[in-house]
């Protein structure tokens, strides 16, 4: 069986990439991802992997090189953060539109201005419509496990889509945690040999990638892209089942924590879920039925399944570590979509927290849970969207 | 040609039939049409060299008719044509005249 280690999130994901040994990796350094690909480039120079590492002049070029390598027929990975992901924008849509199963850890960081390098979900939330599958990770273990599973999900012959694996910048990427590495041969066997689909380097069968598609056909390709996304949930669950057999760690479309009989609940992504779970335990000890839902698969979003999980909740707070100025937070908007599937929906509020790496403290979770208790008693919501942990 | 529905498409808009551009006739883009005047032609084959498509047909080293399925009427052949004694062997004419 595996090995218990004390490592950072970046170190853990770099280790997953070493074990998977992709054919090609093109990456550009950006805080807080830099340390991940720096570790991976050491694996390349030390001969621990036989990956072709391409040094590029920007993230736009990094993703372009990944697209070329993936269309060529290779297993491809890269990684980025915040503004780096933003610079990849144009090419993200090319990767998904060409159905290329590139895997990209995204170490979540805020976007400028003002310039800030810390943990924030604005980067990946902005890329939610780019046609990439998104898996979100609470800690180093989940980031490592999700990275390994991402290859199986994206490369599935009925899917063939790129996958982002999100983990919080600094909070997870640079903090040391206890976690378990799987054995190299176990990971290798799990991801298997890479199978290409219509590779450009199959010179016996020449083909063209990236043609001009005019109004008479473009919409059909986009409709087909949506259809593929509808098949992702089943693949994610099947891959998670296989992964559980070898790791004893269970993954689903989302994680629920003490949610089954909960009257009030928090919906929250990534690292802050850990803090919120502790506070939920304190409320449970006081006899208050509090619970939590932490999405794992954010794209495609499992609306029906989340609806089923929260259907008995009376008051719900959706917490966003990203903002949509002049609108509700992106995760809250998804939960409004979930509410469409419910005859009786919970009373819902939206809190924006932790922007630009502002700490999410237990007292913030307490504040939210107390407000939910109040809402469930009175049946009244005072303010739908508010900022917490911000000075007046 | 029947335009396919969304369930009939190749993943990622990849074109698997090599060289299928021949099935896409682009001659309809033309507004001016080159006309070959054989009596002024010295068989220099400049038109064949300069044509950015492959619309000047050559057989046994001799120039033949234009391939109007693909000629877009750019006029480069007519410009480069040296002709005979000042008379061009290729002239551009407006379509439908």
Whether residues A358 and A226 share a domain: the answer is no
The whole-number average pLDDT for the span A366-389 is: 97
H or E element that contains A156: none
pLDDT band, residue B21 (cuts 50/70/90): confident
Please state, rounded to an integer, the average pLDDT across all residues of chain A: 97
Per-residue pLDDT band for B97 (boundaries 50, 70, 90) equals low
pLDDT category, B1, cuts 50, 70, 90?
low
* Residue range B25-94, CATH number: 3.30.70.20
From A220, which residue of chain B is nearest by alpha-carbon distance?
A: B6
Chain B hits for A216, CB-CB cut-off 8 Å, are: 3
Q: How far apart are CA B97 and CA B90, in angstroms?
A: 16
Per-residue model confidence (pLDDT) at position B22:
87
Among B12, B15, B19, beta carbon nearest to A99: B12
Q: Is residue A295 part of a domain?
A: yes
A299 vs A196, A290, A302, A311, A358, CA distance in Å?
23, 26, 8, 21, 26
Give dist(CA A146, CA A105) in Å, integer.
9
Domain ranges of chain B: 25-94
High-pLDDT (> 90) share of chain A, %: 99
Contacts of A204 in chain B (CB under 8 A): none
Check whether residue A106 and residue A156 sit in a common domain. yes
Q: Which of residues 1-30 of B touch A (CB under 8 A)?
A: 3-7, 9-16, 18-19
**In angstroms, rounded to a whole number, what is the distance separating the alpha carbons of residues A198 and A215?**
25
Q: Is residue A392 part of a domain?
A: no
* Residue at A159 is within a domain: yes
Instruction: Give contacts of A198 with chain B, Cβ < 8 Å.
Output: 10-12, 14, 16
Contact by Cβ (8 Å): A232, A153: yes
Distance from CA of B35 to the nearest CA of A (A): 31
Nearest CA in chain B to A162: B12
Question: Does residue B12 surpass a pLDDT of 70?
Answer: yes
B14 with A160: Cβ contact below 8 A = no
CB contact under 8 A, A198 and B4: no
Is the pLDDT assigned to residue B96 strictly greater than 90?
no
Instruction: Check whether residue A165 and residue A281 sit in a common domain.
Output: no
Question: Which domain range does residue A214 map to?
Answer: 3-247
Specify whether A260 is located in the same domain as A319: yes
Residue A189 lies in a domain: yes
Q: Are A307 and A279 found together in one domain? A: yes
Q: How far, in Å, CA of B82 to CA of B76, rounded?
A: 12
Q: Closest partner residue to B6 among A198, A209, A220, by Cβ?
A: A220
Phi and psi at residue A49, to the nearest 5°: -135, 160
Tell me if B13 and A97 make a contact (CB, 8 A cut-off): yes
Cross-chain Cβ contact B15/A216 below 8 Å: no
CA distance readout (Å), A302 to A78, A233, A308, B61: 26, 7, 10, 67
Please state, in angstroms and rounded to a whole number, the distance separating the CA atoms of residues A332 and A272.
16
Q: Cβ-count burial of B20 within 10 angstroms (0-12 exposed, 13-18 middle, 19+ buried)? A: exposed
**Mean pLDDT score, A120-139:** 98
Q: Tell whether A219 and A261 lie within a shared domain.
A: no
Residues A236 and A201 in one domain: yes
Residues of B in contact with A220 (CB under 8 A): 4-6, 9
From the list B7, B12, B19, which residue is nearest A98 (CB)? B12
In tens, the pLDDT along A240-269 reads 999 999 999 999 999 999 999 999 999 999
A237 and A160 belong to one structural domain: yes
Q: What is the CATH number of the domain that holds A159?
A: 3.40.50.970
Asked if A282 contacts A292 with a C-beta cutoff of 8 angstroms, the reply is no
CA distance A46 to A29: 19
Segment B54-72 shows an average pLDDT of 94
Q: Kindly report, residue by residue over A299-340, the tens digit of the pLDDT.
A: 999 999 999 999 999 999 999 999 999 999 999 999 999 999
- Name the domain count of chain A: 2
Range A62-67 average pLDDT: 98
Closest chain A residue to B10, measured at CA: A221
pLDDT at B2: 84
The average pLDDT across A142-170 equals 98
Q: Which of A198, A223, A228 sits opposite B14 (nearest CB)?
A: A198
* Same-domain pairing of A237 and A96: yes
Q: Which residue of A has its CA nearest to B15?
A: A208
ipTM over the 0.90 cut-off: no
Among candidate residues A317, A256, A253, A335, the one with its CA nearest the CA of residue A291: A256
CATH number of the domain to which A288 belongs? 3.40.50.920
For residue B4, the chain A residues in CB contact (below 8 A) are 217, 220
Q: Are residues A146 and A216 in the same domain?
A: yes
Residue A159 confidence (pLDDT) above 80: yes
Q: How much is the pLDDT for A291?
A: 98
Residues belonging to chain A with any Cβ–Cβ distance to chain B shorter than 8 Å: 97-100, 160, 197-198, 205-211, 213, 216-217, 219-221, 223-224, 227-228
Within a domain: residue A151? yes
Residues 6 or more apart whose Cβ sits within 8 Å of residue B13: A97, A98, A209, A210, A211, A213, A221
Task: Tell me the pLDDT tens digit for each residue of A175-230.
Answer: 999 999 999 999 999 999 999 999 999 999 999 999 999 999 999 999 999 999 99
Same domain, A171 and A289: no
Chain B CA closest to residue A206: B18
Residues A14 and A79 sit within 8 Å (Cβ to Cβ) = no
Same domain, A164 and A231: yes
- Give the model's pLDDT for residue A216: 94
Residue A87, classed as helix, strand or coil, is helix
Q: What is the mean pLDDT of residues B64-81?
A: 96
Q: With 70 as the cut, is the pLDDT of residue A105 above it? A: yes
Q: Indicate yes or no: CB of B18 within 8 angstroms of CB of A205.
A: yes
Picking from B4, B13, B23 by the largest number of A CB atoms within 10 A of its own CB, the best residue to mutate is B13
The mean pLDDT of A66-92, rounded to a whole number, is 98
């Amino acid at each position: 069986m595996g090995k218990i280690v004390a490592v950072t999130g970046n170190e853990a994901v770099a280790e997953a990439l070493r074990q998977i040994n992709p054919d090609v990796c093109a990456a550009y350094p950006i805080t807080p991802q830099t340390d991940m690909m720096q570790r991976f480039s050491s694996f390349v120079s030390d001969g621990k992997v036989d990956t072709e590492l391409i040094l590029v002049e920007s993230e736009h070029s990094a993703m372009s090189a990944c697209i070329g390598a993936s269309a060529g027929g290779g297993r491809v990975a890269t990684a980025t953060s915040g503004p780096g992901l933003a610079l990849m924008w144009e090419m993200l849509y090319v990767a998904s539109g060409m159905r290329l199963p590139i895997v990209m850890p995204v170490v979540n960081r805020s976007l400028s201005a003002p310039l800030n390098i810390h943990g924030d979900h604005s980067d990946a939330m902005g890329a939610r419509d780019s046609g990439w599958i998104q898996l979100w990770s609470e800690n180093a273990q989940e980031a490592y496990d999700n990275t390994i599973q991402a290859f199986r999900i994206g490369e599935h012959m009925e899917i063939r889509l790129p996958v982002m694996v999100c983990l919080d910048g600094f909070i997870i990427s640079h903090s040391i945690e206890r976690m378990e590495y799987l054995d190299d041969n176990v990971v290798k066997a799990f991801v298997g040999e890479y199978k290409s689909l219509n590779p450009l380097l199959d010179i016996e069968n020449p083909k063209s990638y990236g043609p001009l598609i005019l109004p008479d056909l473009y919409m059909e390709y986009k409709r087909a892209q949506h259809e593929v996304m509808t098949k992702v949930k089943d693949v994610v669950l099947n891959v998670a089942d296989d992964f559980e057999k070898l790791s004893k760690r269970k993954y689903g479309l989302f994680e629920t924590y003490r949610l089954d009989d909960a009257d009030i609940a928090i919906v929250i992504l990534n690292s802050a879920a850990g803090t919120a779970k502790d506070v939920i335990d304190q409320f449970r000890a006081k006899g208050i039925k509090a619970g939590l839902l932490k999405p794992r698969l954010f794209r495609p979003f499992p609306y029906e399944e989340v609806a089923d999980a929260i259907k008995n909740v009376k008051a719900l707070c959706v917490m966003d570590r990203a903002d949509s100025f002049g609108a509700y937070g992106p995760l809250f908007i998804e939960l409004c979509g979930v509410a469409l599937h419910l005859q009786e929906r919970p009373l819902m509020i939206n809190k924006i927290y932790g922007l630009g790496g502002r700490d999410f403290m237990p007292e913030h979770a307490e504040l939210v849970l107390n407000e939910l208790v109040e809402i469930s008693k009175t049946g009244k919501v005072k303010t739908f969207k508010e900022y917490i942990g911000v000075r007046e | 040609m029947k335009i396919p529905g969304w369930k009939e498409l190749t993943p990622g808009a990849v074109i698997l039939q090599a060289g299928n551009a021949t099935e896409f006739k682009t001659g309809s883009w033309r507004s001016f049409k080159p006309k070959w005047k054989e009596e002024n032609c010295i068989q220099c084959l400049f038109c064949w060299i300069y044509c950015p498509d492959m619309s000047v047909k050559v057989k046994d080293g001799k120039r033949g008719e234009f391939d109007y399925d693909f000629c877009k009427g750019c006029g480069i052949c007519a410009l480069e044509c040296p002709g005979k004694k000042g008379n061009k062997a290729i002239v551009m004419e407006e379509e439908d005249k």
